[in-house]
Copies of this chain bind each other. A is one copy, B any other.
Amino acid sequence: MYQQILFAADFSEDALRVGERARDIARKCGAKLSLIHVVEDVNISLGGGYELLPVLPDLPDEALLQESRNALGNLAQRLDITDAGLWVVNALSTKEGIIGAAKDHHIDLIVVGSHGRHGLALLLGSTANAVLHGAPCDVLAVRI
């Protein structure tokens, strides 16, 4: 069974429920649990002509990363897990950040929240979807 589980955490109101699932599975399997949050370093913003333009900023500044580290720590505390790895990484996309970490750390299960796909989300896809297609390991999509 699983030995290295990675919970891909956003800081939405559903993160706690998804995290609980990841935690419970890790406990059942006796697996090590790590939490990751990805700070994307490319943003799409409205350009002058109302076109969607990729904006390539400097790397996220230290304050933003520190804020994410604090939020991830708080989430781990609310989940009552004290021994989890807490990783804040920045990457071109959430998908790349999660998959890169999964490969680097020999993760065998990624746990990610999954919304139903409606409207604009149907067009844009979802993190769960993206992770599913690139993951080197099993992916558990927790319905939220």
List residues of chain A with CB under 8 Å of any chain B CB: 1, 21, 24-25, 28-29, 114, 116-117, 128-129, 132-143
Contact = CB atoms under 8 A, between A and B. Distances in A.
Contacts of A129: 129, 132-133
Contacts of A136: 143
What secondary structure prevails in chain A residues at the interface with B? mixed
B138 A139 contact: no
Nearest to A140: B140
Contacts of A128: 132
Contacts of A142: 138
Contacts of A134: 116
A136 B141 CA distance: 11
A60 B69 CA distance: 56
A56 to B, nearest CB: 26
Contact of A28 (B1, B132, B138, B139): B1
Contact of A133 (B1, B24, B29, B117): B117
18 contacts: A1-B24, A1-B25, A1-B28, A21-B138, A28-B28, A114-B139, A116-B133, A128-B132, A129-B132, A135-B143, A137-B143, A138-B140, A138-B142, A138-B143, A139-B141, A140-B140, A140-B141, A141-B141
